[in-house]
Amino acid sequence: MNLRTIALILLLSVGIAAGAASHTFVSKAKGRLGRPIRFEFYSQSATRPKTDITSFTVSIRVADDRWKAMWSISGGHGLTQPIEYGVTPAGFTTIIQPRKLIPGRVYSGSASDGHGGSSSLTFGFDKDGTMIFPDSFDQ
């Protein structure tokens, strides 16, 4: 085998191993506009909170179904309580300052755990500020 073939095989092996290490976990959100909005994270069992969240971003859906980050934090470890929208937990750094959440818009919260795990949820708010999780925001 030539050197290029060996390098390609090694690169593919690393990609396969990285893909095998990725996993999802559960994200939950609660709250209403004008009050704290909190995000919690759980392992697949959904009973034990995850404490190894390393980044979290809330994005808003904009034109052409694209997403624009409107608050982002990173660098955390040892999370001991839910993440409250706009409040940077101890040990995290604010990457993007929070913007105001408004009713009638579609949002996504995305988290990663630094071990290949990720989670996301889509949410919005109705006219009275109640958080909603409809099956589809396109209806």
The rounded distance, in Å, linking the Cα atoms of 44 and 7 is: 36
pLDDT value of residue 138: 59
Helix/strand/coil (H/E/C) assignment for every residue in 15-63 = HHHHHHHCEECEEEEEEECCCCEEEEEECCCCCCECCCCCEEEEEEEEH
pLDDT value of residue 79: 85
pLDDT value of residue 21: 55
Mean pLDDT of the region 107-129: 93
Domains of the chain: which residue ranges?
23-132
34-85 pLDDT per residue, tens: 999 999 999 877 678 888 999 999 999 998 889 999 999 999 777 888 999 9
The rounded distance, in Å, linking the Cα atoms of 60 and 69 is: 6
- Averaged pLDDT score across all residues of the chain: 83
Mean pLDDT of the region 130-139: 76
CATH fold, domain 23-132, is Immunoglobulin-like (2.60.40)
* SS3 state at 130: strand
